[in-house]
A and B are shown apart, each in its own frame.
Chain A
Amino acid sequence: MLVSQSNPYIPMPMRVLRSYAESADGTLRTLELGFENKADHQRFFDSFVPGQFCTLSVFGKGESALGVANAAWEGDFVRFTIQRLGTVTQALHKLQPGDSVGMRGPLGNGFPIEAWKGKNLVIIGGGCAFTTLFSLIKHVQHPKLRQDYGEIVVVYGTRNSGMCMYKPELESWHEMHDMEVHQAIDVAEAGWAHHVGYVPDVVKQVSPNPENAVAVVCGPPIMTRYTLPALVEIGFPPEDVFTSMEKRMKCGIGKCGRCNIGPKYICKDGPVFSLAELQALPADV
């Protein structure tokens, strides 16, 4: 999984292909990046697995770790949806098509999609953490891959309808017969046709069938904290419940020491962990 030649700290040169607002209030923005070097593009998609992340590098500002939001088959680009929060993400929001940006990746372990073959997928996301779940869903929707997986249930909650990402795709998913999509917002809005409520409660209402299924949860810590036990209550064994962890990161390759939960580095051993794995780790988050 080497990221750039023989030096894993040097970012690959990328170019912004597309840049657009992803949320109504503009705090979320999607960037789609193209590779300057064909060899980088090849190497990237040879090993990329949904659930992995990259660091985006803006020289003079720093780097930011972001989940990849597209599947390999979608095209010659890598998609990120970025929340504007600090120095680097602010700089990323200002990028326009044609601008350069650095990227290191793919990093992390990704979702265990091979082990998930033959299973139903229960995919639960909250807010801007839906990015890697989007990558996962796009991946399994590929005509050649769809039959490898069973039923797909999606629960996706956001603060309000404006914050919902990937609206066109979500709308199209409601039409698909092999996907059950449950969208939710925290507070009722005029014209909202879907659930109103917090994701853990919506999950309890939807009560997805745990039989031959795995559940993956990506959301803000507070959402995850209540959703994981809710799934266990419904009957999902901890080995079949997965989540993606986050911590402050710098090197992304397990050397700078800072993103550990006990003996595991989120950047290298994660960010995807099963609930069973997390229960064996100290409460260091």
Chain B
Amino acid sequence: MSQALDQVKTEARRLLSEGLVDVFVGYKAADIPMHPQPAFISKADEADALVYDGFCANNLATYLPQLTRSTKIGMVVRGCEARAVNILALENQHSRENLFLVGVPCTGVLDWRKLTARFGENVSAAVDEGDTLQVTVDGKTQQLPRAEALHASCQRCQHPNPTWADLMIGEPLPEGDPERVWAQADEQIGKTKAERYAWFAHEAERCIRCYACREACPMCYCAECFVDHITPRWTESTTSPAGQHAWHITRAFHQTGRCVDCGACERACPMDIKMTYLTDKLNQDMQVKYGFVAGMDIETQAPFATFSLDDKDRFVE
């Protein structure tokens, strides 16, 4: 991905100087090691400050609902981000005509917490060199294979290639192995109900209701989230098991047929909560029972968003 940087800059410069976009969304250099910041540039010369590597790990599509529909937006996108953009366009959050996507086939984003867990908090620099990472701690630089720092979602990614890009930088990568994708969901299904619930409760217990998962997720764009609805109050806002469980379960279900498994939610969570196993199972159900994968094109509605006469209705039997 870091090899794509020069081309990303060139494209951003071109799009802005030719007036093809009003704003280009990418990343800029970090104030903090391993934490580049999403950047919104509106002048061609600002493109020089762009960066792009495995530490650029947010899902930029989450910013789209904040920008007006009439804004012409350029954005650099990985596979999952492009799928998220598709869904946003499908759900009428943005118009296709005003989006210019620069696609980068993705070799996976990096989980900075894997690096601090391994090397300690004082990682002063980490450079993504494609196959290896150069990590500097207390003045000494060490190397490790990039694969060892991949975020969990990327390890099971099935669709690294942007399904929609106006320009693709780099050659497409092989699509993922479906068997690998479902490992996390299958592991949960293999447990007894009691074990599954114990795992769920164990993870949810740490939740501090900061809603970083919600804000990092491009599919969570509701003007009023269900937890904020107070007439009547549907969910306990208290950090009680009732409140935490309701939050996690309901948010996962609201993702049914929409989650692109980018893992931005897990990366955002300050309490290291594992939550993608919930959406993994929902995604698995969508694919196995309905043959549907979210965001692969801009036409196909999610199964739960449509109705047709030959829908399966086994639950009515």
Q: Do chains A and B touch in the complex (CB under 8 A)?
A: yes
> What chain B residues lie within 8 Å of A86 (beta carbons)?
231
> Is B230 an interface residue when CB atoms closer than 8 A count as contact?
yes
Closest to A86 in B: B231
Interface residues of A in 86-104 (CB under 8 A from B): 86-87
| B139 smallest CB distance to A (angstroms) | 42
Interface residues of A in 74-89 (CB under 8 A from B): 86-87
Closest to A87 in B: B231
Task: Give Cα distance in the complex from A87 to B230, angstroms.
Answer: 8
Task: Give Cα distance in the complex from A54 to B232, angstroms.
Answer: 24
Interface string of B176-201 (1 = CB under 8 A from A): 00000000000000000000000000
Give the interface residue-count category, chain A: under 10
| B237 smallest CB distance to A (angstroms) | 12
Q: Count of B residues near A, CB < 8 Å? A: 3
Interface string of A165-183 (1 = CB under 8 A from B): 0000000000000000000
Interface string of B218-258 (1 = CB under 8 A from A): 00000000000011100000000000000000000000000
> What chain A residues lie within 8 Å of B231 (beta carbons)?
86-87
> What chain A residues lie within 8 Å of B230 (beta carbons)?
87
Interface string of B264-277 (1 = CB under 8 A from A): 00000000000000
| A104 smallest CB distance to B (angstroms) | 20
Task: Give Cα distance in the complex from A87 to B231, angstroms.
Answer: 6
| B176 smallest CB distance to A (angstroms) | 47
Task: Give Cα distance in the complex from A87 to B232, angstroms.
Answer: 8
| A233 smallest CB distance to B (angstroms) | 38
Task: Give Cα distance in the complex from A47 to B295, angstroms.
Answer: 64
Task: Give Cα distance in the complex from A86 to B229, angstroms.
Answer: 12
| B230 smallest CB distance to A (angstroms) | 6
Closest to B232 in A: A87
Task: Give Cα distance in the complex from A87 to B229, angstroms.
Answer: 11
Task: Give Cα distance in the complex from A86 to B232, angstroms.
Answer: 11
| A72 smallest CB distance to B (angstroms) | 35
Interface residues of A in 245-268 (CB under 8 A from B): none
Task: Give Cα distance in the complex from A86 to B230, angstroms.
Answer: 10
Task: Give Cα distance in the complex from A163 to B94, angstroms.
Answer: 43
| A94 smallest CB distance to B (angstroms) | 15
| B235 smallest CB distance to A (angstroms) | 15
| B142 smallest CB distance to A (angstroms) | 44
Closest to B233 in A: A87
> What chain B residues lie within 8 Å of A87 (beta carbons)?
230-232
Closest to B231 in A: A87
Task: Give Cα distance in the complex from A225 to B232, angstroms.
Answer: 34
| B227 smallest CB distance to A (angstroms) | 16
| A69 smallest CB distance to B (angstroms) | 26
| A143 smallest CB distance to B (angstroms) | 46
Task: Give Cα distance in the complex from A173 to B232, angstroms.
Answer: 43
| A219 smallest CB distance to B (angstroms) | 26
Task: Give Cα distance in the complex from A87 to B233, angstroms.
Answer: 10
Task: Give Cα distance in the complex from A182 to B231, angstroms.
Answer: 39
Closest to B230 in A: A87
Task: Give Cα distance in the complex from A87 to B234, angstroms.
Answer: 14
| A269 smallest CB distance to B (angstroms) | 27
Task: Give Cα distance in the complex from A36 to B301, angstroms.
Answer: 61
| A57 smallest CB distance to B (angstroms) | 16
| A85 smallest CB distance to B (angstroms) | 11
| A284 smallest CB distance to B (angstroms) | 21
| A240 smallest CB distance to B (angstroms) | 40
| A2 smallest CB distance to B (angstroms) | 27
Closest to A62 in B: B230
Task: Give Cα distance in the complex from A262 to B87, angstroms.
Answer: 41
| B224 smallest CB distance to A (angstroms) | 14
> What chain A residues lie within 8 Å of B232 (beta carbons)?
87
Interface string of B63-82 (1 = CB under 8 A from A): 00000000000000000000
Task: Give Cα distance in the complex from A86 to B231, angstroms.
Answer: 8
| B232 smallest CB distance to A (angstroms) | 8
Task: Give Cα distance in the complex from A180 to B301, angstroms.
Answer: 67
Task: Give Cα distance in the complex from A57 to B303, angstroms.
Answer: 46
Closest to A90 in B: B231
Interface string of B148-189 (1 = CB under 8 A from A): 000000000000000000000000000000000000000000
Interface residues of B in 94-124 (CB under 8 A from A): none
Task: Give Cα distance in the complex from A72 to B232, angstroms.
Answer: 37
| A92 smallest CB distance to B (angstroms) | 14
| A222 smallest CB distance to B (angstroms) | 24
- In the complex, the 4 A-B pairs of residues with the closest C-beta atoms, listed nearest first: A87-B231, A87-B230, A86-B231, A87-B232
4 contacts across the A-B interface (CB closer than 8 A): A86-B231, A87-B230, A87-B231, A87-B232
